[in-house]
Structure 1
Amino acid sequence: MTSNSPIIPSTVENRGIYCGLPKFSPLITGRKAIVFGANGISGNYMLRALSQTPERWEHVAALSRRPHTASQGIGKNVEHIQVDLLQEPEEIAKILRHHELQPDVVFFFAYIQPPPADDNLWSNAEELTRSQGKLLQNCLDALQLASIRPKRFLLQTGAKYYGVHLGPVHSPAVESDPRVLIEPNFYYVQEDMLSQYCRQNGVQWNVVRPAVILGAVEGSAMNSVYALAVYAAVQKHKGEKLVWPGDAWGWEKEVTHSSAMLNSYLSEYVVLNEHAGNEAFNASDGSPFTYGRLWAQLAKWHGLEFTYPDDDSTGLHELTLQHKPPRGFGKPPTIRFNFTFFEWAQRPENQQAWKELTQKHNLIGNPFGPNELEKTFEYLDFAVLPPHAFTMNLAKGRKFGWYGFVDTIESHRQVIEELVALNMVPPL
Structure 2
Amino acid sequence: MKHALVVGGLGVAGAGIVRALSEQPDWKITIASRRQLDGGTVPCVSVDLLDKADAEEKLAGLSDVSHIFYTAYQERPTFAEEVAPNLAMLVNVVEAVEGASPVLEHVSLMQGTKAYGTHLGPYPTPARESDPRHMPPNFYYDQEDYLRARAPKARWSWSALRPRTIYGHAVNSPMNMTSVIGIYAAMSKEFGLPLRFPGTEACYRTIQQTVDTDLLGKAAVWAATTPKCAGEVFNVTNGGLFRWEQMWPRIARMFDMPCGPVMTIRLAAVMADKEPLWNRMVEKYGLVPRSYHQAVAWAFGDFQWHMDYDSLVETTKIRRFGFHEIVDDEEMFARQIREMKEMRLIPVD
TM-score over 0.5 (shorter chain): yes
State whether structure 2 residue 80 is matched by structure 1 residue 159. Answer: no
Matched residues in 2 for 1:357 and 1:244: separation? 22
Matched residues in 2 for 1:209 and 1:222: separation? 17
In structure 2, what is the equivalent of residue 52 of structure 1? 23
- Tell me which protein shows more helix as a share of its residues: 2
Matched residues in 2 for 1:404 and 1:359: separation? 40
Contact 1:224 1:380 in 2 (8 A): yes
In structure 1, what is the equivalent of residue 59 of structure 2? 96
CA RMSD for the aligned pairs? Answer: 2.0
Matched residues in 1 for 2:259 and 2:88: separation? 45
TM-score (norm 1): 0.77
Matched residues in 2 for 1:296 and 1:393: separation? 27
What secondary structure sits across from 2:278 in the alignment? helix
Matched residues in 1 for 2:38 and 2:309: separation? 36
Matched residues in 2 for 1:93 and 1:247: separation? 47
After TM superposition, list the pairs within 5 Å mapping 1:246-325 onto structure 2. 246-309=199-262
Q: CA deviation at 1:305?
A: 1.1
Matched residues in 2 for 1:101 and 1:61: separation? 12
Gaps of 5+ in 1: 1-29, 117-123, 310-336
Contact 1:291 1:384 in 2 (8 A): no
In structure 2, what is the equivalent of residue 109 of structure 1? 71
What secondary structure sits across from 1:165 in the alignment? coil
Q: CA deviation at 1:393?
A: 0.6
Q: CA deviation at 1:69?
A: 4.6
State whether structure 2 residue 309 is matched by structure 1 residue 388. Answer: yes
TM-score (norm 2): 0.93
Q: CA deviation at 1:395?
A: 0.5
Contact 2:166 2:176 in 1 (8 A): yes
Deviates more, 1:191-200 or 1:141-150: 141-150
In structure 1, what is the equivalent of residue 176 of structure 2? 223
State whether structure 2 residue 4 is matched by structure 1 residue 41. Answer: no
Paired residues, what number?
349
Structure 2 residue identity aligned to 1:127: E
Percent identity between the aligned chains? Answer: 27
Q: Deviations 1:320-351 (Å, cap 9, x if unpaired)?
A: xxxxxxxxxxxxxxxxx6322222202x4x44
Gaps of 5+ in 2: none
Structure 2 residue identity aligned to 1:343: A
Q: CA deviation at 1:388?
A: 0.7
Structure 2 residue identity aligned to 1:45: G
Contact 1:221 1:367 in 2 (8 A): no
Q: CA deviation at 1:253?
A: 0.5
State whether structure 2 residue 268 is matched by structure 1 residue 342. Answer: yes
State whether structure 2 residue 6 is matched by structure 1 residue 67. Answer: no
Contact 1:342 1:377 in 2 (8 A): yes
What secondary structure sits across from 1:106 in the alignment? strand
Q: CA deviation at 1:234?
A: 0.9
Contact 2:60 2:97 in 1 (8 A): no
Structure 1 residue identity aligned to 2:92: N
What secondary structure sits across from 1:298 in the alignment? helix
Contact 1:62 1:79 in 2 (8 A): yes
Runs of 4+ in 1 over 6 A off after TM superposition: none
Q: Aligned pair in 2 of structure 1 residues 251, 109: CA closer, same or farther (>3 Å)?
A: same
What secondary structure sits across from 2:247 in the alignment? helix
